[in-house]
Amino acid sequence: MAPELSAQAEALLRAATLGGFLGAFAFLWLWEGGHPLDQPVLSRSRHLARNLGIFVCTVGAVYGLFWAWLPKDSLGWPTLAANPDGLLVPLRLPAPVLLVAGLVVGDLAEYLFHRACHRFRWLWLMHAVHHSDPHVDVTTGLRFHPVEALLQNALVLAALVVLGIPPWVQVARAILANPYNLFQHANVVYPQWIERRFRWLFATPALHRLHHSPDAGENNTNFGAILSLWDRCFGTLREPGSPRQPRYGLRALNADSWQTVRGMVLTPLRARNLGAL
């Protein structure tokens, strides 16, 4: 069996996940209010309310339609996640190695899913909800279509089950991945050393801003969630050129009717006849 954590340690991980997410969101939201990189959206509160609205739908769908139906153990973990036949289980890896393996494998799974979202039309129609935000800020990190989030959760859980990585690794990964997602989208001026020192390994905010460009040549690059390593390996990395005013959104979905919560939920159905987005 893979190493297990005590109930107390798991409670600590859960608290760090939720607290880290809320704290990072509050930190970046307040910072954006003082020193925005790009001209902020006219009504920040309305933008926040809309993106929070789709986030509530997404969380509800993921927990209500997916996690709630999985059989769970006494600690609330899905029983199928503790797979004794997982590919890594015979190696009896210690917890720190499992943690690193979980981080790397989870990031690769997200990279592949993200590429698939840009490659296949039916996935792109859902992922377009994230890209259709004409004002990328920290709230854009909350803006995902519920069905896309469901599929992504199922894929990550499947990877865990196949490899036999215990679910606490996934929670530990979320402590890093959730705030990092907000950090990538925040509309703030980061110190330049962040880009200089970390871009070789990490998907930095400047790389991700280019990914949110309305031009297909730019938004089909830089798919990495945390690591830029996968983009380097698979030839999808594009370094930002000289500094310029950021451009975001999808031209076909810029109208206000695509920006409401209802508009975002219905985007895959309404946009399916629009041609290229």
Partner 1 sequence: MKFAFALGLLSLAVTSAYAANVSPATVPTLDEGGLVALIALVGVVGGFVARRRKK
Q: What is the spatial distance between Cα 78 and Cα 160, in angstroms, rounded to a whole number?
A: 11
Q: Please identify which residue in the block is written with the tokens 């402590």.
A: 175
Binds partner 1 by CB under 8 A, chosen from 3, 6, 9, 35: 35
Question: Of the listed pieces 14-22, 46-54, 118-126, 198-206, which binds partner 1 according to CB under 8 A?
Answer: 14-22
Q: Quick one: CA dihedral 92, 96, 97, 101, positive or negative?
A: positive
Print the binding letters for residues 202-241 with partner 1: x by CB under 8 A, - otherwise: ----------------------------------------
Contact yes or no for 222/211 (Cβ under 8 A): yes
Question: Of the listed pieces 8-16, 150-158, 235-243, 263-271, which binds partner 1 according to CB under 8 A?
Answer: 8-16
Q: Does 30 bind partner 1 (CB under 8 A)?
A: yes
Binds partner 1 by CB under 8 A, chosen from 3, 31, 44, 101: 31
Q: Does 66 bind partner 1 (CB under 8 A)?
A: no
Binds partner 1 by CB under 8 A, chosen from 12, 59, 100, 201: 12
Residues 6 or more apart in contact with residue 239 via CB below 8 angstroms: 199, 207
| Residue 10 vs 110, nearer CB to partner 1 | 10
Residues 133-192 close enough to bind partner 1 by CB under 8 A: 188-189
Site for partner 1 (CB under 8 A): how many residues?
23
Q: What's the min distance (Å) between Cβ of 216 and partner 1?
A: 35
Rg of the chain, C-alpha, whole Å: 19
Token pair belonging to 79? 């029983």
Q: Does 15 bind partner 1 (CB under 8 A)?
A: yes
Q: Does 22 bind partner 1 (CB under 8 A)?
A: yes
Contact yes or no for 270/132 (Cβ under 8 A): no
Question: Of the listed pieces 6-14, 127-135, 201-209, 213-221, which binds partner 1 according to CB under 8 A?
Answer: 6-14
Q: What is the spatial distance between Cα 138 and Cα 32, in angstroms, rounded to a whole number?
A: 8
Question: Of the listed pieces 20-28, 44-52, 223-231, 245-253, which binds partner 1 according to CB under 8 A?
Answer: 20-28
Q: Does 14 bind partner 1 (CB under 8 A)?
A: yes
Q: Does 7 bind partner 1 (CB under 8 A)?
A: no
CB-side exposure of 169: number of CA atoms within 13 Å?
A: 29
Q: Does 11 bind partner 1 (CB under 8 A)?
A: yes
Q: Does 20 bind partner 1 (CB under 8 A)?
A: yes
Q: What is the spatial distance between Cα 7 and Cα 30, in angstroms, rounded to a whole number?
A: 34
- For partner 1, the binding residues (CB under 8 A) are 11-12, 14-16, 18-20, 22-31, 33-35, 188-189
